Structure 1
Amino acid sequence: MFETLEIFRMAQGMATHAAARHRVVAENIANADTPGYKARDVQPFAEQVQGGSGFKLRQTRPGHSAPATSGHTYRSSEQRDAAQSPNGNSVSIEREMVRAVETTRQHDLAVNVYRNALGILRTSIGR
């Protein structure tokens, strides 16, 4: 029931995006000394939502056509503006640490949105 409410879907999408970005940041940090490794990042969440590529169609009524697949997709891509070291590696530990903090804040925001929406829902039904 709760997964059909848009606020819960948005909170889940934000949390999923944060998890995907955490994975990419961790891969970048793990490969900081790998020669020729190119730093990667995922598309910002706002662009995913506005572009429509982060969310798939969903069937809201029996008469509507069913979606082909469900879920969120987040693809990492190479960072074009990253400076390279002499061995061809483009990972900056400082930049990755900033991204890790941003991603943690995004995940915390998603959890708070979910928690507050759940509180409003509980209040509205009298529990």
Structure 2
Amino acid sequence: MFEKLEIFRMAHGLATHAGTRQAVVARNVANADTPGYRAQDIAAFADTYRKTGDEMGLRRTREGHMPARDPLPFRTELRADDVPGEPNGNSVALEEEMLKAADTKSKHDLALAVYRSSLSIIRTSLGRSGG
């Protein structure tokens, strides 16, 4: 029931996006010494969420309606970072990857905070308290 509320869809999407980005950052760090490896990243959640915003308005509420296209409101597309590389062709900068990892953790924490806060509001509106 609550998974259809937009705030929960957005929090779920942000948490999933953060998990995906964390995996990409980990792969970059693991390949920091691999000759020819190009660092990768995914587009920011806000940019990809806005791109698919028009599709978010369509909901299937009756049998004759069009089905939803994708349960998550964003797309994850790997892209190579455009940074100068080492002489061996590797473009991973560990300092940049650590900044990305910290930023990604804060986004994941934000998604969890939004989820918890929204759940608390719903519980309060139903006259229930506690967790």
* TM-score strictly above 0.5: yes
Q: 1:103/1:113 Cα in 2 relative to 1: closer, same or farther (>3 Å)?
A: same
Q: Which residue of 1 aligns with 2:37?
A: 37
Q: How many residues align?
A: 125
Q: Which residue of 1 aligns with 2:3?
A: 3
Please tell me whether residue 75 in structure 1 is matched to residue 77 in structure 2. yes
Contact 1:58-1:70 within 8 A present in 2 as well: no
What is the Cα deviation at residue 59 of structure 1? 3.1
What is the Cα deviation at residue 69 of structure 1? 4.4
Q: Which residue of 2 aligns with 1:95?
A: 96
Alpha-carbon distance in structure 2 between the residues aligned to 1:58 and 1:20:
26
Q: Which residue of 2 aligns with 1:116?
A: 117
Alpha-carbon distance in structure 2 between the residues aligned to 1:91 and 1:100:
13
% of aligned pairs identical? 47
Alignment partner of 1:36: what SS?
A: coil
List runs of 5+ in structure 2 lacking aligned partners: none
Please tell me whether residue 49 in structure 1 is matched to residue 68 in structure 2. no
Contact 1:56-1:70 within 8 A present in 2 as well: no
Q: 1:58/1:23 Cα in 2 relative to 1: closer, same or farther (>3 Å)?
A: farther
| TM-score relative to the length of structure 2 | 0.88
Alpha-carbon distance in structure 2 between the residues aligned to 1:64 and 1:57:
13
Alpha-carbon distance in structure 1 between the residues aligned to 2:94 and 2:115:
32
Most deviating of 55-64 and 97-106: 55-64
